[in-house]
C-alpha cells in the first residue's frame, strides 16, 4: 500500500519528502496540516455543540488570576488565537521554531478556554504576549 501525503497543493510519499517540497521542517509541516484541519473541522463541531447547549454563565470572581468572564471575553480570546495562528504562518524561516513553540502553547490555551468556556487574566496576558512576539518577527 502506498501512502500519499498532500498539503498546500504538494503531494509526497513521505513526511520528509513533503517537508522538503514545502521547505518546512517535518514538525512545522505536521503542525500546519493539523492547523488547516483544525480550522476546517473544529468550528463546525463547536457551532453544532453551541446550538444544542446553552453557554455556561460566567463564574463568580475567584482568587488569583481567575475572574468572572463574559462570553465576549471568550470570543475575544479565541479571535486572538486565530490571529496568532495567522501570524505564525507569516513568520520567516529563522523564526520557525519560535512560531511552532508559540502555536503549541496557543493550542493548549485555546483548548482549555473552549473546554471551560472562560478565559483567565493570565491566559489573556499570555495570548497578548505571544501575539506581540510573533508580530515582531513578522514586522521587523
Q: Are residues 50 and 60 in the same domain?
A: no
Q: Are residues 138 and 80 in the same domain?
A: yes
Helix (H, G, I), strand (E, B) or coil at 6: strand
Q: Confirm whether pTM is higher than 0.75.
A: no
Tell me, what's the pLDDT at 135? 93
Q: Are residues 34 and 7 in the same domain?
A: yes
- Among residues 45, 11, 15, the alpha carbon closest in space to that of 28 is found at 15
Helix (H, G, I), strand (E, B) or coil at 9: coil
Domain's final residue, options 30, 54, 78: 54
Q: Are residues 122 and 100 in the same domain?
A: yes
Highest mean pLDDT among 17-21, 66-70, 102-106: 102-106
Q: Are residues 91 and 80 in the same domain?
A: yes
Using a 10 angstrom Cβ sphere, with 0-12 exposed, 13-18 middle and 19 or more buried, the burial of residue 72 is exposed
Q: Are residues 40 and 81 in the same domain?
A: no
Q: Name the helix (H) or strand (E) containing 12.
A: strand 10-12
Q: Are residues 33 and 70 in the same domain?
A: no
Tell me, what's the pLDDT at 66? 46
Q: Are residues 65 and 134 in the same domain?
A: yes
Give the position of cell 478556554: 113
CB contact at 8 A, 101 and 134: no
Calculate the CA dihedral of residues 110, 83, 79, 76 and round it to 10 degrees. Answer: 100
Tell me, what's the pLDDT at 15? 72
Q: Are residues 45 and 61 in the same domain?
A: no
Q: How confident is the model at residue 42 (pLDDT cuts 50, 70, 90)?
A: low
Mean pLDDT, rounded, for 35-48: 56
- pLDDT higher than 70, residue 36: no
Tell me, what's the pLDDT at 16? 76
Q: Are residues 72 and 117 in the same domain?
A: yes
73-103 per-position pLDDT tens digit: 899 999 999 999 999 988 898 988 999 999 9
- Among 11-15, 38-42, 56-60, the least confident range: 56-60
Tell me, what's the pLDDT at 20? 76
Q: Are residues 79 and 123 in the same domain?
A: yes
- Grid cell at residue 111: 483548548
Q: Are residues 97 and 130 in the same domain?
A: yes
Domain carrying residue 130: 56-140
Domain count within the chain: 2
Amino acid at each position: 500500500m502506498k501512502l500519499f501525503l498532500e498539503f498546500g497543493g504538494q503531494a509526497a510519499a513521505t513526511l520528509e519528502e513533503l517537508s522538503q517540497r514545502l521547505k518546512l521542517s517535518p514538525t512545522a509541516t505536521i503542525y500546519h496540516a493539523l492547523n488547516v484541519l483544525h480550522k476546517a473541522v473544529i468550528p463546525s463541531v463547536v457551532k453544532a455543540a453551541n446550538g444544542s447547549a446553552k453557554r455556561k454563565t460566567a463564574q463568580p470572581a475567584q482568587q488569583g488570576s481567575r475572574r468572572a468572564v463574559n462570553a465576549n471575553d471568550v470570543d475575544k480570546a479565541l479571535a486572538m488565537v486565530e490571529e496568532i495562528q495567522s501570524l505564525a504562518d507569516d513568520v520567516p524561516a529563522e523564526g520557525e521554531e519560535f512560531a511552532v513553540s508559540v502555536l503549541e502553547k496557543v493550542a493548549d490555551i485555546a483548548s482549555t478556554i473552549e473546554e471551560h468556556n472562560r478565559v483567565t487574566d493570565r491566559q489573556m496576558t499570555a495570548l497578548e504576549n505571544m501575539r506581540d512576539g510573533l508580530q515582531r518577527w513578522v514586522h521587523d
